[in-house]
Every structure is written in structure tokens, then in C-alpha cells.
Structure 1
Amino acid sequence: MKIKATLDRIPGGMMVVPLLLGATINTFLPGLLRIGNFTQALFVDSAGALIALFLLCAGAQISLTNVGSAAAKGATLLAVKWLVGAAVGLLAYVLAGTDGLFLGMVPLAIIAAMTNSNGGLYVAIVGQYGKADDKAAYSLLALNDGPFLTMVALTIFGAMGFVNGLFSIVSFVSVLLPIVVGIVLGNLDPDLRNWFARGSDMLIPFFAFALGMGIDFGAIIAGGLAGIAIGVMTTLFTGTVGYLVFRAIGWNPIVGSAEGSTAGNAVATPMAIAAANPVFQSVAQLATVQVAASTVTTAILLPLYVSFLVSRTDARRIETARDDEALDAAEAGTQAR
């Protein structure tokens, strides 16, 4: 059977197919692989560890000469994601009805979902279409985990004051450290850099499947059409703007679109905001289920949207990015000899 060849013919197939397969199993047969020991450890609980290992491998491909480009791309993605999410959220507040909702959507849910991103999906997409500094940019994107950027937006809107303690610098460092370890090892020994390079691509389908095992299609039903709409806006608005900004700068635009998602940790944001300010208590529960629906919707929609963008993007631009990475690896090998 030509399984790999078939997956390779599907844009993003090494990520999309395992992720959807995991989500299907988790929705209809959630206990099938949750039987403990090695089976559950690999197929259900491995996403965090495998993504961390992927980031270490990616970090090993970073030469000290291109750390700046990784930071520039990460900061650009972070800014685009926040600006788009905050702008749409502000518009929703302005146009909200007497019930505080905009077309059934909670403005708080819009901001929480659109300013947050699924790091696992970003890593999987960039692992297939990006290069080393694109992968390393993920370290900065950890800043949009949790309620911090949502609170920044609400503060600017004058809806609430800034509350200390809801954003931990330790969380940021915990994402950055595996990349730093990889950078150190790869720059100390080019042979290690080449060795780590062979392992990164193999990890993608495994952590994609594990990510799928955290997705329940039922969340879409609970969140209703409003939650689905937030997910669609998150993918189309933040993903498209990221694509256009990266293309305008001259970077790989597919990488710019890889931020068009909502992470599972965003589900806790409305309740965290409500705990900080009781003004939001009345909408926190509805916002929570809408963010959950957005999380599932974007997990399904973003890989498909990226596949569409790949088919519409000049293939030479993507191939150039990949060729640049291959050239960097070849130069490292030459220096080692």
C-alpha cells in the first residue's frame, strides 16, 4: 500500500489526516485508546512531549546568524494576530445589541478566540511548509496563550483595568527552553544539527494524531452557530491577514497563515477574565462554549484553508524557503567536514 505517497498528495496530509482521524476516534470512541501504558502514552498523551522534541530538533537547525529573523517573524505573527482579533472584538462591542451580543457572538469570546493560537497546529503546518527560523518563531507566540492579550485588549477598550498575576513569564520560558537547548546543541556540533534534522519531520503525524485526540466534534454543537462563526472568522481573518503581511514582507506567506487558529487553553480565558472582573460574569459561560466551538472549528478548518492557500500560492516561493533551509544544512555539513 502506498500510504505515504497518498498522504503526500494531500496538501498537509501528514498533519491533516492523522489529526482528523484522532478527532473522529475521540468523538465517537473516546475510550478506545485510553487504556493506559504505552498505547495511551503514545496515541493520547504524547502531544506536549512530541511537540517539545520537535521544537528542540527545530532549534538545532537554527544558526546563530538567523536568530534575529526568527524573532522578527514571531513578533510579526504575534502582532498581526492580536491586532486583527482586537479590531474585530472592538467592532463587536460597538455593534452589540442591548443583550451585549453581536449576531449571537459574545465580544469577549471573539477576542479570546482570535488573539489566541494553537501552537501545535502552527508547528505542524510550519514543519511541512516552513524552514528553521519559522519553527523557532513559535517561542514568541507563547505570549498569546491564556488571558494576557485578551486583557490587554479589554484594558485598551476601557472595559477593565489590568490585573496582575494572570500571565506568568515561566510559561513563556517553558516554551522557549527546548528551542534554546536545540540551538546550543546544533551550534556546538554540526553533526548533531544534521542528526536532529532527520527526526523532526517524522514527529509531525504522531503529535497531530495526539492533538486530534483532544478534539471533540461535540463542542461545535454546544457552541452553536455563533461559536462556529467565531472559528471561521479566526481562520479567515487572522490567517489571511498573516498570509498577506508575510507575502508583502517577502517571507513565506503560508507561515503567516499558520496562526489562524484558537488553542484549547483559550477556553479558560472567559472564566479567568470574569474572575478578575465580575462585569463579565453574565457572559462568561456562553463565551466559554463559543471559544470551545472555535477551537474545534479552527482545528478542522485551518489545515484545509492552508491546503487551499498552498494550491493558490506560487509554488516557487514555498520551494525557495525549503531550498534555503536545505542549503543551510548542506553548508553546516560542509563546515563539519
Structure 2
Amino acid sequence: MRIKANMEKIPGGMMVVPLLLGALINTFAPGMLRIGGFTQALFVDGALVLIALFLLCAGAQINVRNVGTTVGKGVTLLTVKWVVGAAFGLIAYAFAGTDGLFLGLAPLAIIAAMTNSNGGLYVALVGQYGKGDDRAAYSILALNDGPFLTMVALSIFGAIGFVDGLFSVVDFVAVLLPIIIGAVLGNLDEEMRDFLDSGSNMLIPFFAFALGMGINFADILAGGLGGIVLGLMTVFLTGSAGYWVFKLFNWNPIVGASEGSSAGNSVATPAAIASANAAFASVESVATVQVAASVVTTAILLPIYVGFLVKRLEKKGKLQAYLQ
């Protein structure tokens, strides 16, 4: 029985399938796994611990030794992705209704989904349409794995009056310390980096299931359509912004467009944010399911969009010039 292979046929399946399964159980049989002991500790209460360990593993993939053009491209992608996501998040906060939503979308979900990219999808697309330094830029992009950039945006919004409450220095450190420890370990020892990289993949379905055990299926029905819209925004707004900025710098614009996705691990960001600041607890559930829907949408749509852009460049005879 090929469980893993079948799950991976679904875009973002290793994250989305356990999340939805957990939500299904929590909706129709909420007491089934709440029996105490190791069972409840792992499958119900273990989300934050598992996410913290995942962040440590993700931090180990940040390589500070890459310099030159690689850094320039990575920083540019990171900045464009964050600026676009944060800008639309700010608009959503400014015009949110009394329920804290903007056109059915949680502003927290907008920032989490639009500022955090699917590294695997980026590497796959750039591996086909980019050069070596384009692929190496992923080491910089690893900085948007996890809640850090979302916390930066929310803290700025809090300072200018759009968000209730700010993150203290302790809150930042509490969330970032696992990432920092992972980065130190990964840069001190390449073998440790590889070891932690393999561990991060294993953790994803487990913390996804635990997150699902905190979600009611009714929330998924309410947030699903909004999540699809969020996915469309992520592809066409952040992907297009990356495309045109890279074209402006005379870099391969296909590489810029390849950032137009939502990472599977961004599903964990609302929970991490809510754990650091209780002001976001009321929208954690709907934000989580909307980000999950965005992950699936972007995983399907971005390769199609990139393929369309590639054909346009090929018709103009420009793609090969970027690959030289």
C-alpha cells in the first residue's frame, strides 16, 4: 500500500492530507484521540513542539557562505515577496470588518501565505529554467521559512496602529531561537545540515495532523474559497512582481516568477503567531485553513503560469540569453 506516494500526488499532500484528516476527526469525533498519555501528547497537543523542531531543521538549511550574485538574487526575491505580501496584508487590516476579515480573508493568512514560498517548487522550476546561482539563491530564501517575516510585518503594523498588541523582544527570541540554533548547527557542520534536512520532511505530516485537531470542519468550508482566492493572489501578484523586478535587473525573470507560491510549512505560521501573541488567537483557525488552501492552489497553478511565461519568452527568442 503506497500511502506516501499517493499523498505526494496531491499538491502539498504531506501537509494538507494530515491537516484535513485531523480536522475531520476533530469535527465528528473530537474525543477519539483526547485520551491522555502519549496519544494525546503527539496527535492533539504536540503541534507547537513539532513546529519548533521543524523550525530548527529549517534553520539549518540557511547557508551564510553563499555570496555574490547568489545573495543579490536571493535578497531581491525575499524582499519582493515580503513587500508585496505585507502591503496586501496592511490593506486587509486597514479595511477589515468587525469580524477581523477582509472580503472573507484573514489578514494574518494573507501575510503568511504571500510572504512564504514553496522552496521545493522553486528549486524544481529554477532547476529547469535557471542557472546554478539561481538555484543557490534558495539558501537565502530559506529565511522566509517559518513565522519570522510574518512577525516583522505584524510588529510594524502594530507600531502604526493596525494590529492589537506588539511582539516583545522575548516573543521574537522565543520563536526565532530554534531557527537560530539550527542555522548555527548547519553552518558549523554540513553533515548536521543534511541530517536535519531529512528530519524536517518527516515532521511535516505530524504537526499538520496536530494542527488539524484544533480545526473544525465548518471552518474549512468557510475558509476554503477564500484560500483559493488567496492562492490566486499569491501566484499572480507575488509571482508577477518577481518576474518584472528580475527583468528590470536583467536577470532571468522566470526565476523571479518561481517565487509565486505558498510554502507547505506556512500552514503552521498562524499557530506560531497565536502562541506568541494571544491577540491573533481568534483568527488562527480560519487563517490556517485559508493558508492550507493557498498552498494547494499555488502548487497547481504556479507551474502552469511559469510555463505560460516561458513560452512568451521563447517566442521572443529571449529565454536562451538569460540562461547563458
Shorter-chain TM-score bucket reads 0.5 to 0.7
Task: Decide whether aligned partners of structure 1 residues 106 and 288 sit closer, same or farther in structure 2, where only a CA change above 3 A counts.
Answer: same
3-state DSSP of counterpart to 1:281: helix
Contact 1:221 1:293 in 2 (8 A): no
> Quick one: which amino acid aligns to residue 23 of structure 1?
I
Displacement of 1:21 after TM fit? 7.8
Instruction: Specify the alignment match of 1:161 in structure 2.
Output: 167
Task: Decide whether aligned partners of structure 1 residues 132 and 221 sit closer, same or farther in structure 2, where only a CA change above 3 A counts.
Answer: farther
Please give the residue correspondences for 1:19-34 in structure 2 after superposition, counting only pairs within 5 Å.
22-23=9-10
CA distance in 1: counterparts of 2:233 and 2:91, whole angstroms? 13
Instruction: Specify the alignment match of 1:335 in structure 2.
Output: none
Displacement of 1:25 after TM fit? 12
Unmatched 5+ stretches in structure 2: 18-57, 194-200, 202-207, 209-216
Instruction: Specify the alignment match of 2:322 in structure 1.
Output: 321
CA distance in 2: counterparts of 1:292 and 1:265, whole angstroms? 9
Instruction: Specify the alignment match of 2:211 in structure 1.
Output: none
Q: TM-score, normalised by structure 2?
A: 0.66
- Residues 119-139 of structure 1, C-alpha deviation per residue, up to 9 Å, x if partnerless? 000000000000010000000
CA distance in 1: counterparts of 2:121 and 2:278, whole angstroms? 33
> Quick one: which amino acid aligns to residue 180 of structure 2?
I
Instruction: Specify the alignment match of 1:261 in structure 2.
Output: 261
Please give the residue correspondences for 1:240-259 in structure 2 after superposition, counting only pairs within 5 Å.
240-259=240-259
Q: CA RMSD in A?
A: 3.5
Displacement of 1:178 after TM fit? 6.1
Contact 1:220 1:228 in 2 (8 A): no
CA distance in 1: counterparts of 2:6 and 2:67, whole angstroms? 30
Displacement of 1:20 after TM fit? 11
Task: Decide whether aligned partners of structure 1 residues 24 and 73 sit closer, same or farther in structure 2, where only a CA change above 3 A counts.
Answer: closer
| Alignment length (residue pairs) | 242
3-state DSSP of counterpart to 1:96: coil
Displacement of 1:23 after TM fit? 1.6
> Quick one: which amino acid aligns to residue 320 of structure 1?
A
Instruction: Specify the alignment match of 1:71 in structure 2.
Output: 71
Identity of matched residues, %: 59
Task: Decide whether aligned partners of structure 1 residues 178 and 223 sit closer, same or farther in structure 2, where only a CA change above 3 A counts.
Answer: farther
CA distance in 1: counterparts of 2:6 and 2:121, whole angstroms? 10
Displacement of 1:165 after TM fit? 2.2
CA distance in 1: counterparts of 2:257 and 2:83, whole angstroms? 15
Task: Decide whether aligned partners of structure 1 residues 152 and 271 sit closer, same or farther in structure 2, where only a CA change above 3 A counts.
Answer: same
- Residues 141-177 of structure 1, C-alpha deviation per residue, up to 9 Å, x if partnerless? 0000110000000000013224222121244467777
Displacement of 1:26 after TM fit? 6.0
Task: Decide whether aligned partners of structure 1 residues 26 and 245 sit closer, same or farther in structure 2, where only a CA change above 3 A counts.
Answer: closer
Contact 1:223 1:292 in 2 (8 A): no
3-state DSSP of counterpart to 2:175: coil
Unmatched 5+ stretches in structure 1: 1-17, 31-51, 182-206, 208-213, 325-337
Instruction: Specify the alignment match of 2:151 in structure 1.
Output: 151
CA distance in 2: counterparts of 1:111 and 1:136, whole angstroms? 25
Instruction: Specify the alignment match of 2:197 in structure 1.
Output: none
CA distance in 1: counterparts of 2:7 and 2:68, whole angstroms? 35
Task: Decide whether aligned partners of structure 1 residues 173 and 23 sit closer, same or farther in structure 2, where only a CA change above 3 A counts.
Answer: farther
Displacement of 1:308 after TM fit? 1.0
3-state DSSP of counterpart to 1:165: helix
Instruction: Specify the alignment match of 1:296 in structure 2.
Output: 296
Contact 1:245 1:256 in 2 (8 A): yes
> Quick one: which amino acid aligns to residue 321 of structure 1?
Y
